Chains A and B, each alone.
Chain A
Amino acid sequence: MAGTRPIDHLLRRAAFGATPEDLAIYGELSVSAAIDRLVDYERLPDDVDSRIGTNGYLGITTRGAPFSPNTVINDSRQRWLFRMVHSERQLQEKMALFWHNHFSTGYTKVAGFAGTAQGARLMAGKPGEVPGPPGQYELFRQYGLGSFRDLLLAVARDPAMVIWLDGRTNTRTRPQENFGREIMELFTWGVGNYVEADVYAAARVFTGWNLRTSGTLADVATGYYEFIYNAGQHDTTAKTFTFAVYPNGDKTIPARTAAAGEQDGIDFITALATHPETARRLARKFWGYFVSETAEPDAQFVESVAQTYLQSGTDIRATLRAIFRSPWFQSPDAYFARYSWPVEFVVKSLKEIGWNGFSIDSARAALPGMGQTLFEPPDVAGWALGRDWFGTGSMLARMNFAAGLAGNQKFALARDAQPYRATPERVLNYLLERLTPQPLDLAQRSELAAYLRAGGAWTGADAQLQTRTSGLARLITGSGEYQFI
């Protein structure tokens, strides 16, 4: 049965589900080869953006202006969602989403400082299309499967992050602790491993990590923000922590000249990234993202993944490959044990129901009601996951998105269902195979079959097929069972 094979599980987790075309490719591969195809995605073409605005793919919506994903945040959102549906490099987007939540940065604050166009650029500007450093999300696409230590350093120097956590105002005379706190509480090892005095010391470590401008900011084509280490603002005195910063157990970052002071932050980031507690915390987050939200992280899994992470020099690619190959990931107990995030729900339903004549902007517009606006996580801790996605209002928004999409695809669904029109049961089987919800209990199947018959005698005529297959697609996609991946 579709949806319950190991390859389906892998594509729900390491990708955003599967289109019929995806299934044709991955269905030919062994699980091991499929893992490698997903993990070593650089072997696949990086051409998804060239599909935007072309036939056969999701539409985009522009509002009286050219599509501007580097400078208009709603267009940035459309491009990211488009990539989630159509990129062959599925794990790249999946991990970018993970890091976006992990390094949770909100557009509104960034744009409040930099303006809307520079704000969008800071969040999502694509290298090569606009000058200056990549937008934060492009950083995640670039470093997402590299070394976590390098990623953490890149994020610490990311202009959007410097704005988001106020690093730009963190100076020798007035240390500002926002980034120093969150790099420990949220980005690495979590509360319980440090005390308030460590937060103050961490703030001093990053004094002078600041921004400068290049060109004219009002002209997004040439002007931009970039990172600068401002030696004059750096606190050069020694910083002592309650924990070891160096492999020899030394807890003190030594006093340095102002010119050499950027090394303080690099030492601190290296210490945090390579600490076993960070390894374990990331392992637990990966458990929730890739393996299961219905079972607590398995202790052996955490230790094993943490070891891979540390021994590989904080290499995320090696860590993920080990996770996907692990018995915990591959166990059928992990199937459908993950509450889909709203973007995952939306993208999977598009891949499975279809998109001909549908604009990705309709998905973008529906996502806030489900509780997830890309580039606008609720706070520095990211989104509340798992059951917290499922308030009554957000569940209703999912059901209503399903209704809108099923209505939009009504004729295509009926056409595809024609070979099965002889009986309601065959139509039902066809749509369940196509939409791959968590396997339905017999009672739930009976409800769906009863819905197909409720309109009077089943004839399978075109009009009936259009009405009832779209209604059925909506019921399946809006069901509780469908919300699990």
Chain B
Amino acid sequence: MGLSRRSFIRNGVSAFTVSMAAPAFLSEIARAQGASSRNIVVLYLAGGNDALSTVIPYTDPFYYSRRPNIAIPAGQVVQIGSDSSGKALGLHPRMTGLRQIFDAGSLAVIQRTGYANSSRSHFVGFDIWGTADPVQPSGEGWLGKYLATLPSPVDPLAGWAATQEVPRPLVSRSIPVPAIPDARTYSFASPNTGAAAADERAAALRMSAFAPASQPSLTFVNAAAQGAMATLDRVAAVASYTGTVAYPNNGLALALRTVAGSLVRGTGTRVFWVQTGGFDTHSAQGNTGGGAYATLMSTLNDSVFAFYNDLRGQGLLSNTLVLLYSEFGRRISENGSAGTDHGAAGVMMAMGGAVRGGIYGTAASLDPAGQNPTLENAGGDVTYQTDFRSVYARVLDNWLGASSVPILGGDFRAGAPAII
């Protein structure tokens, strides 16, 4: 791992402090920033998703010849039609819920997304997608930079990472983003009760405000404590949310239910980060009958479909955009362990009430022979067609109402798929 988050933190972050938010149900700041306004939920598939098993080119003979053990039989894919080049595509058989969303016109599938000279390292790749910078993938994340454009003071719950640590994409020099993996355990414990416990909480809050400029490390840790204390009460209100539909019992679904709760209760959060892992399928990937990948697809499909239905039931679908990606796609040919190694271009998806559903981009030809411009690495990997930063640009400009050029450090608007 060549580029550590730590080196960024050492080199650049100035100390920040959290402004004290009143422990109201919906803070004044959040109210002023428009609690019911648009939000984005970034859904990250950790490990390098095998895009060719998610969106399957089931009429490409090389898909079957190069994947004798893991190809999904053509008869079992969930058909979604053809792309603009006429290539027929199908979703993984477990993606029946996503097909319903697709049919409703609320799911965009963006094929062959990536960037030139795609990194095969999980960590470098993750940071490149997180910073939108393939050359210097360190420092602030693209979502962190977006949050910093919100009117000051930014509410402490403007961003919400449903992870233990704030991931690179939400890192900001000026905006502290809380990491809240589970709203139910996000509460303040005390060895005492009554007045002593209240005194303790008040003292802890005051101590966490200590932010000496000469001690940036201590200031950082205190800011984490202060961020927690400033958000406890609003998060507690979210924790009781159970949804209008039954969510599956897995980490991703519970994180999405928390996001839905946050939207319903009006925390004013603009950027959510949720992720689910296990996509580094070097072995025993399986095909339609089972195996690791089918389980991953069930988790993804069932969770996202529940979230979609819940938001629809709450009338919040048109305020929400889910953007899905992974750090890279995988090798076209399966390896000796019925899995796939690290590859290049992947697939992004966008879901929401305002999304222009459909298939964007064209599928690669998986023929390894000759001069096939849709492949790279001697025909081993799918090469990218749509720069992922152009998708970010579209989302920033057309959905979040921000200006993508300064956030992305360049103009990627041209050629962006018109997903929203």
What is A's interface to B at a CB cutoff of 8 Å? 165-166, 168-171, 173-178, 181, 185-186, 190-192, 196, 199, 288, 293-296, 337, 339, 369-371, 378-381, 384-397, 399-400, 403-404, 406-408, 410, 438, 441, 443-444, 447-448, 450-451, 454-455, 467-468, 470-471, 473-475, 478-481, 483-484
Q: List 11 A-B contacts (CB under 8 A).
A: A176-B283, A191-B121, A339-B221, A371-B164, A379-B46, A390-B220, A451-B200, A478-B225, A480-B218, A480-B222, A484-B221
Q: Which residue of A lies closest to B190 (CB)?
A: A403
Give the residue among A171, A370, A387, A397 with the most B Cβ atoms within 10 A: A387
Q: Which residue of A lies closest to B179 (CB)?
A: A391
Does B225 contact A395, Cβ atoms closer than 8 Å?
yes
> For B120, what are the chain A residues with a Cβ–Cβ distance below 8 Å?
181, 196, 199
Does B161 contact A190, Cβ atoms closer than 8 Å?
no
For residues 197 through 237 of chain B, which have their beta carbon under 8 Å from a beta carbon of chain A? 197, 199-200, 202-204, 206-208, 210, 212, 216-218, 220-222, 224-225, 227-228, 231-232
Does A371 contact B221, Cβ atoms closer than 8 Å?
no
Give the residue among A196, A337, A479 with the most B Cβ atoms within 10 A: A479
With beta carbons under 8 angstroms apart, the residue of B1, B195, B220 that contacts A455 is B195
CB distance from B379 to the nearest CB of A (A): 14
Please measure, in the bound complex, the distance between the C-alpha atom of A185 and the C-alpha atom of B120, giving whole angstroms. Answer: 11
Give the residue among B220, B231, B335 with the most A Cβ atoms within 10 A: B335
What is B's interface to A at a CB cutoff of 8 Å? 1-2, 5-6, 9-10, 46-47, 120-124, 161, 163-166, 176, 178-182, 185-192, 195-197, 199-200, 202-204, 206-208, 210, 212, 216-218, 220-222, 224-225, 227-228, 231-232, 277, 280, 282-283, 335-337, 339, 341-342, 377
> For A192, what are the chain B residues with a Cβ–Cβ distance below 8 Å?
2
Please measure, in the bound complex, the distance between the C-alpha atom of A393 and the C-alpha atom of B232, giving whole angstroms. Answer: 10
Does B206 contact A394, Cβ atoms closer than 8 Å?
no
CB distance from B269 to the nearest CB of A (A): 13
Please measure, in the bound complex, the distance between the C-alpha atom of A468 and the C-alpha atom of B163, giving whole angstroms. Answer: 34
With beta carbons under 8 angstroms apart, the residue of A339, A399, A473 that contacts B189 is A399
Please measure, in the bound complex, the distance between the C-alpha atom of A393 and the C-alpha atom of B187, giving whole angstroms. Answer: 9
With beta carbons under 8 angstroms apart, the residue of A173, A371, A444, A467 that contacts B192 is A467
Please measure, in the bound complex, the distance between the C-alpha atom of A199 and the C-alpha atom of B377, giving whole angstroms. Answer: 13
Does A391 contact B6, Cβ atoms closer than 8 Å?
no
Please measure, in the bound complex, the distance between the C-alpha atom of A263 and the C-alpha atom of B69, giving whole angstroms. Answer: 32
CB distance from A164 to the nearest CB of B (A): 10
CB distance from A45 to the nearest CB of B (A): 36
Does A174 contact B189, Cβ atoms closer than 8 Å?
no
CB distance from B38 to the nearest CB of A (A): 24
Q: Which residue of B lies closest to A185 (CB)?
A: B121
With beta carbons under 8 angstroms apart, the residue of B2, B208, B228 that contacts A191 is B2
Does B1 contact A186, Cβ atoms closer than 8 Å?
yes
Does A387 contact B220, Cβ atoms closer than 8 Å?
yes
Give the residue among B9, B122, B192, B220 with the most A Cβ atoms within 10 A: B192
Please measure, in the bound complex, the distance between the C-alpha atom of A455 and the C-alpha atom of B196, giving whole angstroms. Answer: 7
Q: Which residue of A lies closest to B183 (CB)?
A: A393
> For B225, what are the chain A residues with a Cβ–Cβ distance below 8 Å?
392, 395-396, 399, 478, 480
Does A288 contact B6, Cβ atoms closer than 8 Å?
yes
Q: Which residue of B lies closest to A438 (CB)?
A: B218
Does A387 contact B6, Cβ atoms closer than 8 Å?
yes
Please measure, in the bound complex, the distance between the C-alpha atom of A368 and the C-alpha atom of B252, giving whole angstroms. Answer: 16
Please measure, in the bound complex, the distance between the C-alpha atom of A335 and the C-alpha atom of B339, giving whole angstroms. Answer: 47
Q: Which residue of A lies closest to B13 (CB)?
A: A387
Please measure, in the bound complex, the distance between the C-alpha atom of A196 and the C-alpha atom of B121, giving whole angstroms. Answer: 11
Does A450 contact B203, Cβ atoms closer than 8 Å?
yes
> For A393, what are the chain B residues with a Cβ–Cβ distance below 8 Å?
164, 178-182, 185-186, 228
Does A397 contact B199, Cβ atoms closer than 8 Å?
no
Does B203 contact A391, Cβ atoms closer than 8 Å?
no
> For B182, what are the chain A residues with a Cβ–Cβ distance below 8 Å?
369, 393
Does B217 contact A294, Cβ atoms closer than 8 Å?
yes
Does B337 contact A388, Cβ atoms closer than 8 Å?
no
> Quick one: given A166-B337, A399-B188, A441-B210, are A392 and B224 in contact (CB under 8 Å)?
yes
CB distance from B312 to the nearest CB of A (A): 29
> For B203, what are the chain A residues with a Cβ–Cβ distance below 8 Å?
447-448, 450-451, 454, 475
Does B199 contact A454, Cβ atoms closer than 8 Å?
yes
Please measure, in the bound complex, the distance between the C-alpha atom of A443 and the C-alpha atom of B206, giving whole angstroms. Answer: 10
Does B335 contact A396, Cβ atoms closer than 8 Å?
no
CB distance from B198 to the nearest CB of A (A): 9
